[in-house]
Amino acid sequence: MAARRSRIPATKYPVERFTLDNGLRVVLSPDRSAPVVGVAVVYDVGIRSEPEGRTGFAHLFEHLMFQGSENLEKLAHFRHVQGAGGTFNGSTHLDYTDYYEYLPANALERALFLEADRMRGPRLTEENLRNQVDVVKEEIRVNVLNRPYGGFPWLTLSPVVFDTFPNAHDGYGSFDDLESATVDEAVDFFHRFYASGNAVLAVSGDIDVAEATMLVERHFGDVPARPAPDRPDFGEPDLTVERRTSYTDRLAPMPAVASAWRVPDPLTDLTGYLAYVVLAEVLTDGDASRLVERLVQRDRTVTSIGGYLNFMGDPFDVRDPTVLVLQHHLPPGGDVDRVLRTVDEELDRLAADGLTEGELARTQARMATHLLRDTDAVLGRALRMAVLEQQRDEPGLLNELPRLVGEVTEEQVRAAAAMLRPERRASIEVIPGGAR
């Protein structure tokens, strides 16, 4: 059946691409509507890249990249960006690590200098390493160990659905692995993964393309050339038998359960993948969605529901293998088995009976609104284009995503729902230990 014509138009953000002699890929997207710029550098290294025995190392290294660089002392990056009226940060994902600045347009060169300087070499000292190990450990205490439902479900469900170390391990890291990390390992990690040939620079906002190109070449052109390392195949077989497990969370006041199913490869089968992206929204986004209406409003067997692609929540920045996740928080004494049975019933009903009139169009319009909002700001645009260049060599796909979401058909959504069978499901239950 031919794909239906989308009622959602494509955007028209301009895209200019080139590659420096040292292998750095560059994406420029001018937008003169406001005197601001977003600068993003994405390295093709993430949680799946870290070696066994060094859980949390990719995230730890992200911290080290802010501890001074070849020509700048510790905290200089903070001072120079904030002194220009800008903001900055970085984040570690399954398949990449990003660093970014949002600044007034007249501070573009400052941001380019800062990023180029740490691409040449961060200050990897014993003092910086030990200090940042302690910072990361405290982050784990705050976000995982001392928080109800900490790490649920992205840390706790991945080892249920996956078997291999790259896909299943704790990306935040164990204290033992973090504490035993060495400077030599950090240096090796930098030289292997933080190569100019393994990075993408994206700039969006109030720029002149010719001038921005000259500034990029000035600051990044002499970064030593190092090629991108070979990326392993992280693929795993799909599940054929349901997997379920549970654990007690000493701080959780109520039960919870999360389930995951494998989905098509987003890089080689975007059309098939998008059907699951839309399905997750049909099931869980808004009071009129299938599972909210049934489980929250009618049956009252859960208090909240979430549904999304990719354990880290963004469906458009992940490679295969990845999953569709449904997570539920239950009231005191809630019946997890009943919740899972009801989810199966609603998936079967959707696959057999299809969607109600206007249900798909309403969902797609809401999704397109979110996509357009996320890339309306120049920093969001730069980050999305950098990742699309890194993973697909296609930063202009940013313009097409709202339209492509709008072209998903009811038949495709129904077929996706039919694939979410219990025998392909991995689930983890949180048993509350904090009710008293």
pLDDT at 27: 98
CB atoms near residue 400 (< 10 Å): 15
Each domain of the chain, given as residue ranges in start order, spans 16-221, 243-432
CATH class of 243-432: alpha beta
pLDDT at 5: 64
User: What averages of pLDDT result for each successive group of 10 residues across the chain (436 residues)?
Assistant: 66 96 98 97 97 96 95 93 96 97 98 97 96 98 96 97 97 96 97 97 98 98 94 95 97 97 97 98 93 96 96 93 98 97 97 94 94 94 98 96 96 98 98 76
Q: Are 113 and 219 in contact (CB under 8 A)?
A: yes
Using CA atoms, how far apart are residues 354 and 269, in angstroms rounded to an integer?
Answer: 23
pLDDT at 2: 47
The 10s digit of each residue's pLDDT in 35-51 is 999 999 999 999 999 99
Non-local CB neighbours of 358 within 8 Å, separated by 6+ positions: none
pLDDT at 4: 59
Using CA atoms, how far apart are residues 334 and 354, in angstroms rounded to an integer?
Answer: 29
- CA 256 from chain centre, in angstroms, equals 23
Full strand arrangement of the beta sheet holding 97-104: 16-19, 25-30, 199-205, 36-43, 97-104, 87-92
Q: Are 323 and 261 in contact (CB under 8 A)?
A: yes
Residue 75, sorted as left (phi over 0), alpha (psi -120 to 50) or beta, turns out to be left
At 255, give phi and psi (nearest 5°).
-70, 160
CATH 3.30.830.10 fits 16-221, yes or no: yes
Please name every residue paired with 309 in a beta bridge, in sequence order, or none if there are none. 324
**pTM flag (> 0.85):** yes
Q: What does each C-alpha distance from 210 to 213, 221, 383 come to in angstroms?
A: 5, 15, 21
Average pLDDT over the chain, rounded to an integer: 95
CB atoms near residue 249 (< 10 Å): 22
Q: Is residue 354 classed as helix, strand or coil in its secondary structure? A: coil
Please name every residue paired with 429 in a beta bridge, in sequence order, or none if there are none. 246, 257
The 10s digit of each residue's pLDDT in 252-298 is 999 999 999 999 999 999 999 999 999 999 999 989 899 999 999 99
Non-local CB neighbours of 412 within 8 Å, separated by 6+ positions: 271, 272, 274, 275, 278
Question: Do the first three CATH levels of 16-221 and 243-432 match, i.e. the same topology?
Answer: yes
Torsion sign, CA atoms 55, 57, 62, 66: positive
CB burial of 344-379 (b: ≥16 within 10 Å; e: otherwise) equals: eebbeebbeeebeeebbebbbeebbeebeebbebbb
pLDDT at 130: 97
pLDDT at 1: 44
pLDDT at 10: 84
Say which residue the tokens 């975007």 belong to: 270
Please name every residue paired with 102 in a beta bridge, in sequence order, or none if there are none. 38, 87
pLDDT at 372: 93
199-205 and 25-30 beta bridge pairing: parallel
